[in-house]
Amino acid sequence: MQVIRSIKEMQAFSESARQQGKTIVLVPTMGFLHEGHATLMREGRKKGDVLVISIFVNPAQFGPGEDYEQYPRDWESDVKIAESAGVDCIFTPDAGEMYPDGFQTTVSLSQVTGNLCGIYRPTHFQGVATVVAKLFNCTKPHRALFGEKDFQQLVVIRRMVKDLNFDIQVSGVPTVREPDGLAMSSRNLYLNTEQRAAAVSLSRALLEAQKMFKAGERNAGVLMEAARKIIEGEHGTTIDYIKICDVETLEDIQRIAQPVVMALAVRIGKARLIDNIVLNG
């Protein structure tokens, strides 16, 4: 497994693979890898000849007062997990390599970033879209895999790829969960024992809404209120949002008659956790 820190070296590596007729698969990450990332990597291993992961904690997607400096990092563990998943190359540039002096270009999307996390983190998806566009140009993949836990991010990347004519196939991989249902996240590290127990309310709320939907409920407000009661029933939870949206436009839906995603964001202690479920896919 190679570790590459230079953009020019990464581009040369990928160009050589392409000239040999090999298919490159990219799994972008911010490191502190866990089983959710490993699942993405194992899936990527099946889909191409060369598996590249990026490990880069992207300062551009953190807003003022967010946890960029505190974001967990564990290089030794990341290397072991990547090796065990069959990764061929880790691309891990530093911030100065990705954003050199004078950097001033960004990628912005006007609509799909306006709801859900975009309301509470107004600069976040500009940072995400910009860094992913750069990672695509650095690693030159044929395919890229993203976790469906970050559903809005997946929608944003698919929209960017379509709008800017990237010749890359973007695939979503289902959310990986702990045995009790909590979606795996690097930020779960922030939770103490009591908060960790409360965090399970996110998946319980989504499953209750899914159960009600399968029983025939189509009023989005009724489903959201049921989810809200479950989460607010736990001590120390603060809801940023619970919404039901069209899976492509991410516009709010009042009555469900098309594929929708129920998405939520909840603050518990230092952690801001997100989760979602597609109700009518």
Residue 60 CA to residue 123 CA, distance in Å, equals 8
State the pairing for strand pair 24-29/89-91.
unpaired
Residue 7 CA to residue 270 CA, distance in Å, equals 34
With a cut of 90, say whether residue 212 has pLDDT above it. Answer: yes
Return the pLDDT at 280. 86
pLDDT for 22-42, tens place per residue?
999 999 999 999 999 999 999
Residues 6 or more apart whose CB falls under 8 angstroms from that of 20 comprise none
Residue 242 CA to residue 266 CA, distance in Å, equals 9
pLDDT for 124-139, tens place per residue?
999 999 999 999 999 9
State the pairing for strand pair 260-268/237-246.
antiparallel
Helix, strand, coil content of the chain in percent (nearest 5): 40, 20, 35
Sign of CA dihedral 176, 179, 183, 186: negative
Catalytic, out of 37, 124, 142, 235? 37
| Residue 37 annotated as catalytic | yes
